[in-house]
A and B are shown apart, each in its own frame.
Chain A
Amino acid sequence: MSQSVVSLPVSVEQIAAAIRQMPPAERKRLLDLVPELRQFAPRTLDEARTSAASVRADVQQALAGQALSSTDPFLGDLTLDQYLALPDEERARLWETPIDATWIEAEERDVRSDTLSAR
């Protein structure tokens, strides 16, 4: 889908292609020239840690003073401790469900005529 960008005879797609080919130093220069683009920059680990610290309070509230125990049963026949110690592929396997293959064939539903499409 090609749209012209302001009065420049280039499309958003052309600009995107140019940015993708830029070395890191030029991308940094671009950010300096257009600081508004920083809001589109990937989140940093520091930002994520700050968010996690905020979520911690929600978790404590959700637990309502009842701390989890690593020996409580969790998925399968495993305790939470055992589950979290598994390699990622094995944890993924425990998340497999009978509907993994069947939901794809689920009945489709109509949306309302005044439905809101994503942007």
Chain B
Amino acid sequence: MSDRTRCLLDKVTARRILEGLLKLAEGRDLGDDELFALDLFYRAGSHSIELFIVPPTVHTLSRLEVLPRYGGIIRLLRDRMQVALPARYFTRWSRRLRDFGFTPEDAAVLALGTFGTNESGTILGMDYIATFDQPLIRHWATQQGAIRERWQTMRDDLPAPYRDAPLPDVQPPEHIVIV
């Protein structure tokens, strides 16, 4: 087990952090979502928490990083984040999650929470997925019993270390606690 809390940011949460950073740079007022997203970003820099982003977020940030004015801010963001990549069994689990009514995009992010790894393949899964998507949070919670049952059935057939992959907790940033 890892001693650091891992948190995958969905695209909107990563966007809120960047928009918050840009507003800070310009001295603008921040909305509540931006404040809570920045709070998570700050805690990631000062506590034992690792932040991950999904591949499409990396794509957008790369487009911005080449603009000279924003390079410094994008690097500040990227320095505290790694990209989560699909590990073996990601596709199988993602398809099963779709059976619970999740969209393909949401199912993929949720599946990265279980079968996501880093560039070097030294980790597996996330403790949290951070999202502001309340319907997604509610649906994940209400389906939890059935999802766990499905996961239990699937994991029995998997080799180590995949059978030890976690089901993540899906929460808004302000509910993500670091213990």
Contact = CB atoms under 8 A, between A and B. Distances in A.
Nearest to A76: B63
Contacts of B87: 108-111
B86 A108 contact: yes
A29 interface: no
Contacts of B117: 109, 111, 115
A100 B161 CA distance: 28
A66 B59 CA distance: 25
B132 to A, nearest CB: 10
Nearest to A103: B55
A97 interface: yes
Interface in A42-59: 42-45, 47-49, 51-52, 54-56, 58-59
A28 interface: no
Interface string B139-179: 00000000010001000000011101110100001110101
Contacts of A80: 22, 26
A66 B69 contact: yes
Contacts of B42: 51-52, 54-55
Interface residues of B, number: 76
A115 B121 contact: yes
Interface of A: 1, 39-40, 42-45, 47-49, 51-52, 54-56, 58-60, 62-64, 66-70, 72-75, 80, 84, 91-92, 95, 97-100, 103-119
24 contacts: A40-B179, A45-B35, A48-B174, A51-B41, A52-B35, A52-B42, A55-B24, A62-B73, A63-B73, A66-B72, A68-B25, A68-B70, A72-B69, A92-B12, A95-B57, A95-B60, A99-B59, A100-B56, A108-B90, A111-B121, A113-B161, A117-B125, A117-B164, A119-B166
